[in-house]
C-alpha cells in the first residue's frame, strides 16, 4: 500500500471516534502548552542572562576583596584589604594582555527620589575602556581632573536622563547630597559637581552589582578627597577592573594577577576573589544545567502521560477494529500496511495536537507576559527554538507508544479476525 494512501485512510479513520480521539489531541495540546510554558521561559531566561553577559562586552576580570561566590550567597571579608597601590602595581607591570585597568571606590550614594538611587564611584580614566562606556556628550574623566579644584563628574544614563529629567548639560553645575559611605556613621555631604560628560545607556556589568547607568563617575583622587582620604595609594578599593585584549586571554591574565597579588601577600579566595565573564557564563551554565535536568524530568513525565493516552486509545481502537483489520488482511493488506496505518493514525493525532498546542502555547505565553516579568524574555525565536526540541520529542514519543498496539494489530490472523464478533 502506498504511503500516501495509508495516510489518507488513517486520516479518514481518525474522524470516526471524534470524542475519543479528541482526548488524545487534547493531551498533546496540553503537553505542548506545558512544554512551551515550562521550557520556553527557562530557555528564555538563560538566553537573556548569557546574552546580557555577552552584550556587556565585558572582556574583563574583576578583583573582589574577600571571598565571594558568584551566583551563590557566600561572602567572607578579607583579612587583608586590597588597596589602590596594588592596582597601580599591576598597572606598572605592563602585562601585554591588559589593555586597561582601574580601581573603583564607591564613596557614597545619592537619592534622587523614590527608588531612584545613584552612587558615586571613583576610578581612573581606563574605566571608559573597561566598561565599554560610550559618551553621549562631553568627555570622560582624565588624569588632569585629579588636581582640579572643581569635582568633574560623568553622569550615567539613568542619572542624567531619568533622575534629573534630562535637563542637564555638560559644563553645568550640579548640587547633590552625597551620603558618604564611611563605617557605620552616615554622613551627608553637600557636593557641587561640574558635569563634564553624559554617558549612553549600557547593560549592567556582569559579576558585580554595579550598574553604570546609575553611576556618577569622578576621578579617584577627587572621590577620595570628598571622603577626606588623602593617602590615595593606601585607600581600600571596592574592586579592581582589568580589561583584557581577548576573551581567550581571561584565564592567563587571571593567573598573572593572582600571582602578583599573592606575591604582595594576599591569599586567593580569602583576601580576594577573581571573577571574569567566563565565570559568570559558567555560573549561568551551572545553575541552568541543574535546573534543566529538573525540568527534563517534568517534561519526560508530561510526554509519557500524553503518549499514554495514545497507547490506551490505540489499544482500544485495535480491539474495536479487529474485524476491519481481518478484512483488510483478506483484501491483501500486509502486516506492514496495518502497522503503518495505525502508526499514521497516532501520528496524525499527535500532529493535530502539536499544531493546536503550538498556537495556543504562543497565545498563553503572550498573555502570561503581561503578568510575569521573567516570561518577557521569551522571544518568538526562543519559542520556535523550544518547539524545535519539544515537538519532535512529542511526535517521536507518540509513535513509540503507538508501536505496541500497532504491532499487536499486525499479529492478528485474518481468519481469526474475520470470525470476531
126 binds other proteins (CB under 8 A): no
**Binding residue (CB under 8 A) for other proteins from 327, 360, 379, 385:** 327
User: Reduced to 3 states, what is the DSSP secondary structure of residue 73?
Assistant: coil
Of the pair 13, 239, the CB lying nearest other proteins is at: 13
Query: How far, in Å, CA of 258 to CA of 267, rounded?
Result: 9
3 binds other proteins (CB under 8 A): no
9 binds other proteins (CB under 8 A): yes
Residue 392 and residue 303 in contact, taking contact as beta carbons nearer than 8 Å = no
**Binding residue (CB under 8 A) for other proteins from 267, 286, 319, 335:** 335
Query: How far, in Å, CA of 330 to CA of 322, rounded?
Result: 12
Stretch near other proteins under the rule CB under 8 A, chosen from 90-98, 308-316, 333-341, 392-400? 333-341
Q: At its nearest, how many Å lie between other proteins and the CB of residue 419?
A: 7
> How many residues touch other proteins (CB under 8 A)?
27
Q: At its nearest, how many Å lie between other proteins and the CB of residue 350?
A: 20
Q: At its nearest, how many Å lie between other proteins and the CB of residue 407?
A: 14
Q: At its nearest, how many Å lie between other proteins and the CB of residue 286?
A: 55
332 binds other proteins (CB under 8 A): yes
How many of the other CB atoms lie within 10 Å of CB of 63? 26
- Residues within window 44-73 making contact with other proteins, judged by CB under 8 A: none
333 binds other proteins (CB under 8 A): yes
How many of the other CB atoms lie within 10 Å of CB of 320? 12
329 binds other proteins (CB under 8 A): yes
15 binds other proteins (CB under 8 A): yes
Of the pair 8, 173, the CB lying nearest other proteins is at: 8
Q: At its nearest, how many Å lie between other proteins and the CB of residue 323?
A: 7
Q: At its nearest, how many Å lie between other proteins and the CB of residue 280?
A: 59
- Is residue 3 packed enough to be buried (19+ CB in 10 Å), middle (13-18) or exposed (0-12)? exposed
The 8-class DSSP code of residue 213 comes to: G
352 binds other proteins (CB under 8 A): no
Question: Closest Cα partner for 365 from 38, 48, 28, 25?
Answer: 38
The residues, any chain, with a CB within 8 Å of residue 315's CB and separated by 6 or more, are 404, 405, 408
Q: What are φ and ψ of residue 110, in 5° steps?
A: -130, 140
In sequence order, what DSSP letters do the residues of 179-203 get, joined into one string? EEEETTEEEEEEEEEEEEEEEPP-P
**Binding residue (CB under 8 A) for other proteins from 238, 256, 279, 337:** 337
**Residue matched to cell numbers 577626606:** 228
199 binds other proteins (CB under 8 A): no
Of the pair 12, 267, the CB lying nearest other proteins is at: 12
Beta-strand pair 60-65/67-68: unpaired
Q: At its nearest, how many Å lie between other proteins and the CB of residue 16?
A: 5
Q: What angle do CA 166, 214, 277 make, to 5 degrees?
A: 135
Residue numbers of the site for other proteins (CB under 8 A)? 1-2, 5, 9, 12-13, 15-16, 323-324, 326-337, 413-415, 418-419
Amino acid at each position: 500500500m502506498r504511503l500516501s494512501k495509508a495516510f489518507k485512510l488513517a486520516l479518514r479513520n481518525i474522524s470516526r471516534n471524534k470524542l475519543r480521539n479528541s482526548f488524545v489531541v487534547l493531551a498533546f495540546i496540553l503537553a505542548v502548552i506545558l512544554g512551551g510554558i515550562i521550557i520556553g521561559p527557562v530557555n528564555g531566561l538563560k538566553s537573556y542572562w548569557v546574552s546580557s553577559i555577552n552584550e556587556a562586552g565585558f572582556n574583563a576580570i574583576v578583583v573582589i576583596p574577600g571571598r565571594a561566590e558568584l551566583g551563590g550567597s557566600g561572602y567572607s571579608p578579607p583579612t587583608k584589604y586590597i588597596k589602590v597601590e596594588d592596582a597601580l602595581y599591576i598597572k606598572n607591570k605592563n602585562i601585554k594582555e591588559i589593555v586597561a585597568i582601574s580601581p573603583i571606590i564607591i564613596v557614597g550614594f545619592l537619592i534622587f527620589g523614590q527608588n531612584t538611587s545613584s552612587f558615586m564611584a571613583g576610578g581612573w580614566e581606563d574605566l571608559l575602556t573597561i566598561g565599554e562606556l560610550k559618551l553621549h556628550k562631553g568627555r570622560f574623566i582624565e588624569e588632569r581632573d585629579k588636581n582640579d579644584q572643581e569635582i568633574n563628574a560623568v553622569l550615567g544614563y539613568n542619572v542624567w536622563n531619568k533622575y534629573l529629567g534630562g535637563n542637564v548639560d555638560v559644563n553645568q553645575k550640579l548640587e547633590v547630597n552625597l551620603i558618604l559611605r564611611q563605617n557605620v556613621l552616615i554622613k551627608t555631604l553637600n557636593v557641587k559637581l561640574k558635569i563634564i560628560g553624559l554617558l549612553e545607556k549600557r547593560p549592567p556589568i556582569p559579576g558585580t552589582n554595579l550598574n553604570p547607568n546609575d553611576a556618577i563617575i569622578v576621578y579617584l583622587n577627587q572621590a577620595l578627597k570628598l571622603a577626606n582620604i588623602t593617602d590615595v595609594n593606601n585607600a581600600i578599593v571596592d574592586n579592581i577592573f582589568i580589561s583584557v585584549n581577548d576573551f581567550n586571554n581571561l584565564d592567563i591574565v587571571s593567573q598573572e594577577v593572582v600571582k602578583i597579588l599573592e606575591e604582595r601577600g594576599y591569599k586567593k579566595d580569602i583576601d580576594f576573589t577573581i571573577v571574569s565573564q567566563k565565570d559568570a557564563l559558567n555560573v549561568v551554565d551551572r545553575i541552568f544545567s541543574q535546573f534543566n535536568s529538573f525540568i527534563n524530568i517534568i517534561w519526560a513525565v508530561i510526554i509519557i502521560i500524553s503518549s499514554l493516552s495514545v497507547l490506551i486509545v490505540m489499544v482500544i481502537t485495535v480491539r474495536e477494529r479487529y474485524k476491519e483489520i481481518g478484512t483488510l488482511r483478506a483484501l491483501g493488506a500486509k502486516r506492514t500496511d496495518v502497522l503503518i496505518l495505525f502508526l499514521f493514525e497516532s501520528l496524525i493525532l499527535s500532529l493535530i495536537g502539536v499544531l493546536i498546542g503550538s498556537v495556543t502555547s504562543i497565545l498563553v505565553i503572550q498573555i502570561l507576559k503581561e503578568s510575569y516579568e521573567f516570561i518577557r524574555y521569551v522571544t518568538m525565536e526562543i519559542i520556535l527554538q523550544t518547539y524545535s526540541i519539544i515537538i519532535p520529542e512529542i511526535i517521536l514519543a507518540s509513535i513509540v507508544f503507538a508501536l505496541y498496539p500497532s504491532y499487536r494489530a499486525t499479529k492478528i490472523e485474518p481468519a481469526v479476525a474475520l470470525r470476531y464478533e
